[in-house]
Structure 1
Amino acid sequence: MKLKILLFTTLFYTGTILLAQEKHTGPVIPEFGPVWDIPGATYQLDKDGTLMAVFDVMQSPEDHTQVNPWIETAARFLNMHAAAGMDPENLKVALVVHNQASTDLLDHPGYQERFGSENPNHALLSALMESGAQVIFCGQSSIARQVPIEQTIEGVQLSLSAMTALLQLQDQGYRLIKF
């Protein structure tokens, strides 16, 4: 019985402490990618290692005024690992964008023409690329979704296909993260 009470008390107070924490952004992408600190993690982060992640981004919110949360995941990845003590130079990120998410790469004029508002993803994508992330657009989706590379945010790269980019990045040591 005492063990059950001790376990309940520990879980209650631990849960309360975790619930009392606030998400924060930065240090890599200050305006996006809020994360929680995880004090007491028992699976330790190799702060001296290198993490190379490729995010397969194919979905987009139905509301065209919202930031794409699947793109923001890359900012969370960078922020949480840097906040936990990893050198941002050891964090390599690539986003392979295709399918519904194709229009999220449009520059402001192209987005305005299509959806009647500025692209809510523009600042996020620009910040990611400024931090060293690669944003790679599927050439097949470019044509199928009528999103020419000339109308995308500066710095977006065009690939033959999403499949091509995903395979090549994984061959280079990137690990696929798919949500």
Structure 2
Amino acid sequence: MIRSFMLALLFALSAPTLAAPTADAARPVINVEQHENIRVAYDVKDDVWDAGIGKALYYVRGLLEAYKDQGVAPRNLHISVVLHGPAAYWVLNDAAYQRHKKDEFAYNPNDKVINELLAHGVSVELCGVTMKSMGWTEKDVLPGVKIVHDAYTRLIDLQQRGYAYIRF
């Protein structure tokens, strides 16, 4: 019995101790490992808002900041935002936005963030099928926004080319 006790004591004294983390000890933060040729496709269909703009646009802007904070140069980011369905009106100019909302005083609050995203090299894209079904023309769309044949074939193409898929 004493031998068992001595062995247990010896084992306990030689085993590494697992100290509880202190308040001062920082946890390691995992950062991105890939810094080049980052490809992301946003599938934006839901008409959900955050901070006064389309939620997906808010999150794309946040993604740009997150990569910047981790030292990724904007030239290494390839982001496509494909809008269709109920969220497609986010890319309308003010005149078309007013007609869509049936409010002559309405303005498109997404205009500014879309221009910021375009300036950072983000490809903002509108589904041509949605555009036609809503009776919109290219003149109704904000400058710089690209028209794609349809959202689904565009998203499939982007995914087959290695783009990470994010659904909104």
Q: Same fold (TM over 0.5)?
A: yes
For 1:178, the equivalent position in structure 2 comes to 167
Letter in 2 for 1:56: D
**CA contact under 8 A between 1:95 and 1:136: conserved in structure 2?**
yes
Pick 1 or 2: higher relative contact order, CA cutoff 8 A, min separation 6.
2
Q: 1:123 to 1:79 in 2, by over 3 A?
A: same
How far is 1:47 from its partner? 5.3
Query: Are 1:59 and 2:55 counterparts?
Result: no
In structure 1, what residue type is equivalent to 2:113? L
Could you say what secondary structure the match of 2:39 adopts? Answer: strand
Shift of 1:62: 7.0
CA distance in 1, matches of 2:41, 2:165: 5
> Deviation at 1:126?
1.1
**Change in 2 beyond 3 A, CA 1:74/1:62:** closer
After TM superposition, give the deviation of residue 174 of structure 1 in Å: 1.6
Cα shift readout 1:84-141 (whole Å, capped 9, x = no counterpart): 1111111111001001111111011211233231101001111111111111111111
TM-score relative to the length of structure 2: 0.77
Equivalent positions of 1:15-94 (< 5 A) are: 40-41=28-29, 43-46=30-33, 48-61=35-48, 66-94=52-80
SS of 2:53 mapped into structure 1: coil
TM-score scaled by length of structure 1: 0.72
Question: Quick one: which amino acid aligns to residue 33 of structure 2?
Answer: D
Distance (Å, rounded) in 1 between the aligned partners of 2:159 and 2:153: 10
Alignment CA distance shift 1:47-1:173 (3 Å):
closer
**Percent sequence identity over aligned pairs:** 24
For the residues of structure 2 that align with 1:144 and 1:62, how far apart are their CA atoms? 23
Q: 1:48 to 1:71 in 2, by over 3 A?
A: closer
DSSP-derived class of the 1:73 partner: helix
Which residue identity lines up with residue 142 of structure 1 in the other structure? Answer: M
Q: RMSD across aligned C-alpha pairs, in angstroms?
A: 2.6
Which letter does structure 1 place at the counterpart of 2:162? G
Query: Residues of 1 paired with 2:164 and 2:34: CA distance?
Result: 17
